[in-house]
Chain A
Amino acid sequence: MTEQIGFFLLSWLDPSLLALTAAGTLAGIYIGAIPGLSVTMAASILISFTFTWEVNAALALIAGVFTGGVYGGSRSAILLNIPGAPAAIATALDGYPLARRGEAGVAIGLSTVMSVIGGFVGIIALAVAAPVISDFALLFAPRDYLLLAVMGLLLVGTMSGESLAKGLFAGALGVALGMVGLDPMTAEGRFTLGTVQLMAGIPYVAAMIGFFGVSEALVQLHNLRVKPVKQDVSRIVPPWHLVRKYLPLSLRSSLIGVVIGALPGTGGDIAALMAYDQAKRTVKNPSRPFGEGAYEGLIAPESANNAAVGGAYVPMLTLGIPGDAVTAVIIGALFIHGLKPGPMLMIETPHLFWFTVGNLTLANIFLLVFGLTGIRAFAKLVECPPSVLIPLILVLSVVGTYAIQNSVVDVYFMLGFGIFGYLLKMYGFQVGPVVLGMILGPMIDVSWRRAVISVGDDLGFFVEEAFASPLTLVLLAFMSFLLLSQVPFGALWRRLRGQPPG
């Protein structure tokens, strides 16, 4: 036990490791905040960079960047409506309306505290229950991923805005866009028009930046003469009673984050979206309606995406299976440093486990410090006149998109989606469901096909297997509940009887 505490405190007591974790967290916040720069990219660059270092130093730096980066995405989502990373898409839904109300400071402060709470829940889950969670994650069969993705797609209902029909159209459009590229199962080209550029598909980060950032900038052109909203920066650290009030929601969302993060096929983006959906369904009296600046709509995704960080480490440290793209890179880093990532890692190098737990804890403490400082300057950014802010958003969008994979084609896509998104918004369509469809559509596609291939196209066998699995049954029951609880049976019954609704 004392030995484990020693490993846990390794990076707390060693000044150079302490400094590296701090530097990583700070750098991560800015990498996360700039759309297009991703944590995966930063981590893989760090591997080449830290090749000659000691492995502990490299891991400390990466843990900091990971923690900071997942949080950083919320900054640009709240201030500019450009999610800095896919994990911050859900944050933009209520975060940006808060900034437009002059509450950017409160929003950033609250998202910082909730991210840290989520981060700690993830770490506790990792430290206490890692083997149990990773065994649970292995239970998910292709059909269960299908159910998860379909549940995620039900979010279209909550993201549709004024018209469900328009929301469904936008969601379906996103699914279709997500299908572009080589079929992941047969390598057959789909909608590629015979060009190589389309073979890798349309990067959904480019679409995300276009649909959220550029289209919002274009919408802003309509009210150039409107004076920017004055930002209230008198209170940055959220009052204790607010934190305590939202703690249960934050914990609930964090648990979703841990599980979704630990699943090898899903990461922080889906965790945040599902947590947002959960909040919208369970919170009876939100501070404001969702989508108009509800604190709940900010807290749920921000807790969940940081909890997903701890979750992603779970299968990586216990089984050598990456929980997401970043942990896949970390596995590569361990390998290059001569360690053997795999199921024996925890047995043969137990210090690595507690070192990582200690590191993540430290990174979250730094996150709290860095996250709560400098908010004032950031919040004032939104007070810039449109003539400064709009070009800034456009430049950031172009640079960020180019940075994804140094491709000009992606920039054209991004600009095209920006203009298209502007037109959609003008006609009352929401752009959120499009991006949601692009993320979940491909997951539904491959999970469904894998599930059907698994049973040799035998539907009877499919049903038999699904009913033999308690996990599938629970997911199925939960999804049915989600669907049925939203159906207005009373009104339907009255309509069938020919009575006027009322």
Chain B
Amino acid sequence: MMHRRMLLGGLAAAPLLGATTARAQAFPSRDLLGVIQWGAGGATDVTGRAVTPHVEAALGQKIVLQNRTGGTGAIGLTYVHGLPSDGYTLLYGAENPLLYKVLNISRLDYTDFTPICLLARSVPVIVANKDKPWNSLKELVEDMRRNPGRIRMASTGPGGQAHVVSTMLASTGPFRHISIPFDGEGPGLTALQGGHADWMTVGSGAVAEHVRAGRVKALAVFNDAPLPSLPNVPPATADYPELARLMPWGSFYGVWAKKDIPAEAREKLVAAFRTGTANPQFTQLMTGNGNVVMNTSGAEAEAFLARWQSVTAWILQEAGAARTDPATLNIPRPS
């Protein structure tokens, strides 16, 4: 009996001991937890897992990664928000939280967090089923205007890349199409190849190999210049120059921590991620797959996020797809 009491006493003391040593030692003195908003094998997951080993080397501690999915990423974000602001928990996220308040998904979003590093962004590619007659973005858009409500687009749900890009395209002049929500880019791309959808917008990373193999037809990249990984695909601005005001636009992947973490921890994390993201192995991986490495933090990252949110929220509002008016959320109109 004595033994058991001693053991329990020792266990109870252990966290206290840990806390005092943590305070005495410099950050980070133990393993970190990285919560990934999206599922295993997805773009956020893969980008996060590819950069983390390089960051661990710079940080001198392990980052234990864990997928916490659901609620278009709101579950993972809320979970991290509920943990202590000690810098030991990171959120590996994507662009979605910037639209949570506009789409009434969650009351928490990135305003409660500070960006540690924006890792990379993907460029949307507009692709069609390979048997479809369209050979340019203009032909697709004009066909949708001629045949309203007949042409099928695979989407990834409200606020997703496909939904926003089609709304942006419709800002050049309205058209009506069928939008079928799938569970993600992968399932959408599968349906596209099976002929169950006619066109969709996919991140460059997910689609590059399918384009190269000729399984799908790339009509345009949603960018103001061609991509090095898809040099023969024209930019969307070639057909619709007015889209340039909305660019650059697309999914992006980054790492966040709670806003009120200690300044020392934030500086160490920012520096470690800057080094890790600059690792040539990671940059080659990203660019080879058609992504654009960002490696931005601090004010530059805040500005990027604010602009992205403003452009996207207002285009959804104009299309009637926003559930809360961005004006009431103090999201400024894009200038």
Query: Which residues of chain A have a CB within 8 Å of any CB of chain B?
Result: 40-41, 43-44, 47-48, 51-52, 138-142, 181-182, 184-187, 196, 199-201, 264-265, 315, 319-322, 325, 328-332, 335-336, 338, 340-345, 347, 405-406, 446, 450, 453-454, 456
User: Is B329 among interface residues, defined by CB-CB distance under 8 A?
Assistant: no
In the assembled complex, the Cα of A344 lies from the Cα of B207 at a distance in Å of 12
Q: How distant is A324 from chain B, measured CB to nearest CB, in Å?
A: 10
Instruction: Supply 18 further A-B pairs (C-beta < 8 A) apart from A187-B105, A199-B70, A342-B209.
Output: A43-B40, A44-B67, A52-B53, A138-B190, A139-B194, A141-B196, A184-B183, A186-B181, A187-B158, A315-B190, A332-B40, A332-B45, A336-B285, A340-B288, A342-B210, A405-B66, A405-B68, A456-B149
8 A-B contacts (beta carbon < 8 Å): A51-B53, A141-B191, A186-B181, A187-B105, A328-B41, A329-B41, A340-B289, A343-B215
B82-123 interface code vs A (CB 8 A; 1 in, 0 out) = 000000000000000000000101100000000000000000
B49 near A332 with CB under 8 A, answer yes
Give the chain B neighbours of A40 by CB distance below 8 A.
Answer: 40
Q: How distant is B202 from chain A, measured CB to nearest CB, in Å?
A: 12
B156-190 interface code vs A (CB 8 A; 1 in, 0 out) = 01110000000000000000001111110011011
Give the chain A neighbours of B285 by CB distance below 8 A.
Answer: 335-336, 338
Q: How distant is B163 from chain A, measured CB to nearest CB, in Å?
A: 11
A320 near B70 with CB under 8 A, answer no
Q: How distant is A307 from chain B, measured CB to nearest CB, in Å?
A: 21
Give the chain A neighbours of B78 by CB distance below 8 A.
Answer: 196
A325 near B180 with CB under 8 A, answer no
B213 near A321 with CB under 8 A, answer no
Give the chain B neighbours of A446 by CB distance below 8 A.
Answer: 183
Interface SS majority for chain B: mixed
Q: How distant is A398 from chain B, measured CB to nearest CB, in Å?
A: 19
In the assembled complex, the Cα of A383 lies from the Cα of B135 at a distance in Å of 70
A344 near B209 with CB under 8 A, answer yes
How many residues of chain B have a CB within 8 Å of chain A?
56
Give the chain B neighbours of A331 by CB distance below 8 A.
Answer: 41
9 closest A-B pairs (Cβ-Cβ)? A342-B209, A200-B70, A328-B41, A343-B213, A199-B71, A138-B194, A44-B40, A185-B181, A332-B41
Give the chain A neighbours of B67 by CB distance below 8 A.
Answer: 44, 405
A47 near B49 with CB under 8 A, answer yes
In the assembled complex, the Cα of A340 lies from the Cα of B243 at a distance in Å of 31
Give the chain A neighbours of B182 by CB distance below 8 A.
Answer: 450
Contact of B196 among A48, A335, A454 (CB under 8 A): A454
In the assembled complex, the Cα of A138 lies from the Cα of B190 at a distance in Å of 7
Give the chain B neighbours of A450 by CB distance below 8 A.
Answer: 180-182
- Given known pairs A182-B71, A199-B75, the reply for A322 and B66 (CB within 8 Å) is no
B43-62 interface code vs A (CB 8 A; 1 in, 0 out) = 00110011011000000000
- Given known pairs A181-B71, A196-B78, the reply for A140 and B158 (CB within 8 Å) is no
A140 near B194 with CB under 8 A, answer yes
Give the chain A neighbours of B288 by CB distance below 8 A.
Answer: 338, 340
Contact of A336 among B46, B150, B158, B189 (CB under 8 A): B46
Closest to A335 in B: B46
User: Is B310 among interface residues, defined by CB-CB distance under 8 A?
Assistant: no
User: Is B316 among interface residues, defined by CB-CB distance under 8 A?
Assistant: no
Q: How distant is A484 from chain B, measured CB to nearest CB, in Å?
A: 29
A453 near B180 with CB under 8 A, answer yes
Give the chain B neighbours of A454 by CB distance below 8 A.
Answer: 152, 178, 180, 196-197
Which residue among A43, A196, A329 has the maximum number of chain B CB atoms within 10 Å of its CB? Answer: A196
Q: How distant is A406 from chain B, measured CB to nearest CB, in Å?
A: 7
Closest to A44 in B: B40
Give the chain A neighbours of B186 by CB distance below 8 A.
Answer: 264, 321-322, 328
Give the chain B neighbours of A332 by CB distance below 8 A.
Answer: 40-42, 45-46, 49
In the assembled complex, the Cα of A450 lies from the Cα of B180 at a distance in Å of 6
A325 near B209 with CB under 8 A, answer no
- Given known pairs A142-B180, A181-B71, A454-B152, the reply for A322 and B41 (CB within 8 Å) is yes
In the assembled complex, the Cα of A264 lies from the Cα of B183 at a distance in Å of 11
Closest to B284 in A: A338
In the assembled complex, the Cα of A185 lies from the Cα of B149 at a distance in Å of 19
Q: How distant is A331 from chain B, measured CB to nearest CB, in Å?
A: 6
User: Is B65 among interface residues, defined by CB-CB distance under 8 A?
Assistant: yes
Give the chain B neighbours of A342 by CB distance below 8 A.
Answer: 208-210, 212-213
Give the chain B neighbours of A405 by CB distance below 8 A.
Answer: 66-68
Give the chain A neighbours of B210 by CB distance below 8 A.
Answer: 320, 342-343
Which residue among A41, A48, A52, A265 has the maximum number of chain B CB atoms within 10 Å of its CB? Answer: A48
Give the chain A neighbours of B183 by CB distance below 8 A.
Answer: 184, 446
Give the chain A neighbours of B317 by CB distance below 8 A.
Answer: none
Give the chain A neighbours of B209 by CB distance below 8 A.
Answer: 320, 340-345
A200 near B69 with CB under 8 A, answer yes
B70 near A181 with CB under 8 A, answer yes
Q: How distant is A356 from chain B, measured CB to nearest CB, in Å?
A: 17
Closest to A264 in B: B190
Give the chain A neighbours of B68 by CB distance below 8 A.
Answer: 405
Q: How distant is A426 from chain B, measured CB to nearest CB, in Å?
A: 33
In the assembled complex, the Cα of A120 lies from the Cα of B160 at a distance in Å of 41
Closest to A192 in B: B71
In the assembled complex, the Cα of A187 lies from the Cα of B99 at a distance in Å of 12
